[in-house]
Amino acid sequence: KQEGRNAYRLFSTSLDVREHRWLAMETALRNALDTGLGLNLHYQPLVARDTGRLVSIEALARWTDPSFGPVSPGDFIPLAERTGLIQPLSQLLMRTVATQLRSWLDSGLTPVPVAVNLSAQQFWHQDLIADIQALYQEYRLPAGLLSFELTESILLDKQQQAITILNALRQLGCQIAMDDFGTGYSSLSYLHQLPITTLKIDQSFVQQLGENQGSETILAAITGMAQGLKLKVVAEGVETQAQREALAKYHVDLIQGYLISRPLPADTLRARYLA
Ligand code: C2E
Ligand code: CA
Ligand code: CA
Ligand code: CA
């Protein structure tokens, strides 16, 4: 205030710059969706903690723009949600997964289920179930080859409606994982009512293994509860052999992380894991 107009103008300029950047990025994302260029998926394996056998694959969205370079999905997924682009983006990504699975099947491979992340708007979109059903039919996919990951916050205020949608997904043979488990507002009172199959422990707990007694206590509690509820447990973000070994103390079925593999382009995943 003391500096008068200049200070105000500086602040407002930097806001403009940021706003301008988002607008430019929105235009770029729109172009990418129109042309289909620069958007694709990488695939990260989930393996059995004890044997290392491939059990499932997570599809992670990737976007590289000619002027922005690689943009993190942590940025462009929320951007797509804010700008109404999430629906076309979602359809493109799901179709990409279905096409990929069909191509692996056609080459005589036996793919494992591929998990797709669902944002709030994707999960609550009225066409979700019909779209997935249509993909299964169009690409002649065996039941259960698509699975889904979502965070608890998505389900928070409309639990009964959420259960209906989750049941419809389960009826299609889809596994459903609660992503980033332990970080959100866990409503333990209704967790047992949700027709989900898997708890995916957030990587922050895995990365504090051996360093933070508190996070080990939470890990023990979550895995114990999951076992009681007959839910599969995945630990994500496993980066070191020490973390993998530490996880053996707990009831963790699957692990995922850089120790096993980074997210890979489809062909690399295929060569290393499916061939
Ligand atoms: P997420 O679903 O929790 O995905 C896990 C993130 O951790 C991914 O980041 C993955 O690349 C990264 N990761 C995997 N292993 C390790 C590890 O060992 N160490 C560390 N430090 N990180 C690891 P990514 O690909 O940048 O995705 C970020 C987030 O963006 C995802 O978090 C997910 O919430 C969202 N996202 C990604 N793809 C999609 C998509 O297709 N649809 C939707 N709705 N969201 C997506
Ligand atoms: Ca995920
Ligand atoms: Ca996660
Ligand atoms: Ca996350």
Four-point Cα dihedral 190, 94, 46, 40, nearest 10: -130
**Among all ligands shown, which has an atom nearest to the Cα of 201?**
3
At CB < 8 A and 24+ separation, what contacts does 213-218 make? 218/182
pLDDT band for position 271 (50/70/90)? very high
Q: What is the pLDDT of residues 123-139, one digit of tens each?
A: 999 999 999 999 999 99
Q: What is the pLDDT of residue 19?
A: 85
Q: What is the pLDDT of residues 54-108, one digit of tens each?
A: 999 999 999 999 999 999 999 999 999 999 999 999 999 999 999 999 999 999 9
Average pLDDT over residues 184-196: 83
What ipTM, to 2 d.p.? 0.98
Ligand 1 near 237 CB (within 6 A): yes
- Which H or E run includes 54? strand 54-65
Ligand 1 near 12 CB (within 6 A): no
Question: CA-to-CA distance for 202 and 196, rounded, in angstroms?
Answer: 17
pLDDT band for position 14 (50/70/90)? confident
Q: What pTM did the predictor assign?
A: 0.94
Measured from the Cα of 42, ligand 1's closest atom is 25
Q: What is the pLDDT of residue 10?
A: 53
**Among all ligands shown, which has an atom nearest to the Cα of 74?**
1
Ligand 1 near 258 CB (within 6 A): yes
For atom 7 of ligand 1, which residue has the closest CA? 237
Residue 177's CB: how many other CB atoms inside 10 A?
27
